[in-house]
Structure 1
Amino acid sequence: MTSMTPASTPPWRRERRAHFPGVPAWGLATTRQSPEPFQVSPLAEVTRQWAWDGSDGTGVRVCVVDTGVDGCHPKIGGLERSLEVVSGDGGELLVADCHPVDPAGHGTACAGVIRSIAPGASLTSLRVLTDGKTGTGDALMAGLRWAVDEGFDLVNLSLSTTRSGFRESLHELADRAYFRRCLLIAAAHNMPVVSFPWTFSSVVSVASHDEADPMTYYYNPAPPAEFHARGVRVPVAWPGGREIRSTGNSFAAPHITGICALILSKHPWLTPFQLKTVLYLAADNTMTRTTP
C-alpha cells in the first residue's frame, strides 16, 4: 500500500471508505486491507521550541468570522479573501465576496492579533456581524458552515450566541468541523452567562488573562474555558490604519489562534485532539513544559 505524504489529500478531507461485508459500519477489515499509514509527530518531548520554533504560520489557512476586516490596514498585510453573509433573491442566506472593509472594527482587531503572531498565515475575512455586537444566529450558522466546508485549518470565533435554539445545530457543526480537522477557536463570553459555541468540548475555548506578553498563555483545569491568553488592554488594529487598546475575551481567542497557526505550520498533520494536547503541554503553567 502506498504511504501517505503531506502533499496528498489528508484523510479528513476524503470521501468515506466503502463498507466491508460482514464488518460493522465505520469498521475496517484489516484482514483484507491494511490500516492506512498516517503522518504523525511524536509528542513525548513537547516544548515550545518543538511546538513552533522557527514557524511563522506559512501554509495555514485561517478564517476570521466576525465584522469584516480592513484589508488595507498595515497590521493586516492583505487578505486571501473577504466575504459576507447576504440574503439571496429567495431570502436564503449566501456567502458572497465583498470589499475588505470593517464597519465596526472588531474583526480587524482580531485579525491583527493573529497576524502579529503568525505573519505567514493566510487570512480570510467572513462578515457575519454588522456593528460588532449584533447579528443573527442564522447568519452565524451560514457563515460557519461555509468556513467548515471550505476546509480552513482554523476558524477564529470571537463571538457567541445566548439563543438556546441554535445550540443543537451549532453543536453538530462544531463536531463536524472537529472531524474534518477544521479547528474552531472560540472566545468565552465576557459576562457570566451561558452562550455557544465556546462551551462545546469540540472547540478550543479561550478567556483572558491580564499579562502583557502575547505568547504567555495558561491551561485552565476548570473548563469550559480551556485556556487563558492575553485579553486586557491589548493593542489592536482598528479601521482607518489606527491602533487602539481594548479589553475582552474577543482578543484572547486570536492569540491562541495565532499560536495554533504556528504549531500547524510546523506540524501540519496534527489532528484537533493532538493540537489541544500540544497547547496544554506548552502552556506556561503545565509541569511538563521546558523553557527553550
Structure 2
Amino acid sequence: MPPWRRGQRDHFPGVPAWGLATRRAAPEPFEISRLESVDKEWAYGGADGTGVRVCVLDTGVQADHPHVGGLEASYQVVADDNGKSSVAECEPHDPAGHGTACASVIRQVAPGASISSLRVLTDGKNGSGDALLTGLRWAIEAGFDVINMSLSTTKSDFRHTLQELADQAYFRRCLLVAAAHNMPVLSFPWTFSSVVSVASHDQADPMTYFYNPSPPAEFHARGVRVPVAWAGGKVVRSTGNSFAAPHIAGICALILSKHPWLTPFQLKTVLYLAADNTADTIAQNGEPDVL
C-alpha cells in the first residue's frame, strides 16, 4: 500500500505531532517523478490510463453503452429505515444519462482507465447533500485515484464538510476533478483550492485544454456541443461544464498512468505546464533563464 493510503505513523516521543524522528528512523524511501521539460509528450505520451481507477460521482452509468465500454463496479447511496445513508452495489443503470455522458468522455480520453460509477443524484439535477457527502467520503476511502464530480451545491451548510473531504482526498492522493457551476454563482466544491476545477472552452479537440490565470476555475476543456453517450444507447451533443470536467479527469488518468507517484499539487503543475496556452507561450518565448 502506498504511504498516502496508510494510517498515520505513531507519534515519536520528544518530537512534535506529525513529525519524524530522523535520528532514530530514516525517512521513508519513495519514488520521484521529475518535472523538468514537461510538455504533453512527457505528461502522457503513449499512456492510455491503464492502472488508474476513476470514480464517476453522478447519476449512475449505463455500463453496456458502447461508448462506455463497461465498468469496474457500480454503486449507489442508499438509506436505511432510520434514514442513515450508506453505499451499496447496484445494477449499472443511469435513468438520467448525465453520468453515462461523463463516463463516455473519460473513456474516450483514457480508454485503458478503470471506471466505476457511484450514483448520488437522481435525475441529473437533484440529490440530497447527505447523499453527496456519503458518496464522496466513501469514494475517497475506497482509494480511487481520480473522482469526477460534474456537480456542485450552492448550499453553504455543506461547505465545511465538503472542504474537509476535499482536503482528506488531497492528502490521500485522491484527485477530485470538479466542474464549475454553469451559472455565475458561488457553489462547491469546485471553488476549493484542493480540487482541480474545470470550465468549458468551445473548441472541438478533446485533448485541447487551457490554463486559466483567473481562478477559481483553473482549466478550460471541451464543453460546447460535446458528443456524449446518453441513456438508452443514444449519442447526443450537449453543452456544459459537466462535460469539460471529465476531459480533464481523463487527461489526469493518462498522466497518472505514466507517472503514478505524482502528488495532487505536482499533477496540477503538470496540467499547467502541458496546457496548450502555457506550452505555446514557452515555445514562443523559450525557457526562462534561471539566475
TM-score, normalised via structure 1 length: 0.95
Q: Does 2:247 correspond to 1:255?
A: yes
Q: Which runs of 4+ in 1 moved over 4 A?
A: none
Alpha-carbon distance between aligned partners in 1 of 2:7 and 2:162, rounded to the nearest angstrom = 23
Question: What is aligned with 2:11?
Answer: 19
Matches within 5 A, 1:1-292: 9-286=1-278, 287-288=281-282
Q: What is the Cα deviation at residue 242 of structure 1?
A: 0.9
Identity %: 75
What residue is the counterpart of 2:287 in the other structure?
none
Output the CA distance in 1 between the equivalents of 2:112 and 2:190: 26
Structure 1 residue aligned with 2:288: none
Shift of 1:289: 6.2
Q: Which has the higher helix share?
A: 2
RMSD: 1.0
User: How far does the alpha carbon of each residue in 1:142-200 deviate from its partner, in whole angstroms, 9 at most, with x for none?
Assistant: 00001001000000000000000000000000000000010100000000000000000
Contact 1:283 1:289 in 2 (8 A): no
Paired residue secondary structure (1:240): helix
**Contact (CA 8 Å) 1:76, 1:112: kept in 2 or not?**
yes
CA distance in 2 between partners of 1:126 and 1:201 (Å): 24
**Distance across 2 between alignment mates of 1:16 and 1:46:** 32
Give distance in 2, aligned partners of 1:177 and 1:142: 14
Question: What CA distance in whole angstroms lies between the structure 2 residues aligned with 1:84 and 1:29?
Answer: 43
Offset at residue 69 of structure 1 (A): 0.4
**What SS is found at the alignment partner of 1:285?**
helix
Q: Structure 1: how far apart are the matches of 2:36 and 2:186? A: 36
- Whole-angstrom distance in 1 between the partners of 2:2 and 2:268: 19
Shift in alpha-carbon separation, 1:10–1:289, aligned structure 2, 3 A:
farther
- Measured in 1, the distance between the counterparts of 2:232 and 2:283 equals 40
Structure 1 regions of 5+ residues with no counterpart? 1-8
Q: 1:48 touches 1:289 (CA, 8 Å); kept in 2?
A: no
SS in 1 for 2:100: helix
User: What is the distance in 1 between the residues matched to 2:94 and 2:164?
Assistant: 29
Match of 1:114, SS? helix
Across the two proteins, how many residue pairs are aligned to each other?
Answer: 282
Listed one character per residue, the Cα deviations across residues 72-104 of structure 1 (whole Å, up to 9, x for unaligned) are 100111001111111113210011111111000
SS in 1 for 2:232: coil
Deviation readout 1:214-260 (Å, 9 max, x if unpaired): 00000011110000000000000011111000000000000000000
Separation of aligned partners in 2, 1:228 and 1:98: 33
- 1:288 is displaced (CA, Å) by 3.6
User: Whole-Å Cα distance in 2 between the matches of residues 265 and 241 of structure 1?
Assistant: 29
Q: Distance in 1 between matches of 2:19 and 2:117?
A: 38
Deviates more, 1:276-285 or 1:82-91: 82-91
How much does 1:22 deviate? 1.1
Structure-2 change in CA distance of 1:68 and 1:263 (3 Å)? same
Query: 1:4 aligns to what?
Result: none
Q: 2 CA distance for matches of 1:259 and 1:193?
A: 27
CA distance in 2, matches of 1:173, 1:281: 27
Say which SS state the counterpart of residue 277 (structure 2) adopts. coil
SS in 2 for 1:200: coil
Separation (CA, whole Å) in 2 of partners of 1:289 and 1:53: 18
Paired residue secondary structure (2:106):
helix
Give the TM-score normalised by the residue count of structure 2: 0.95
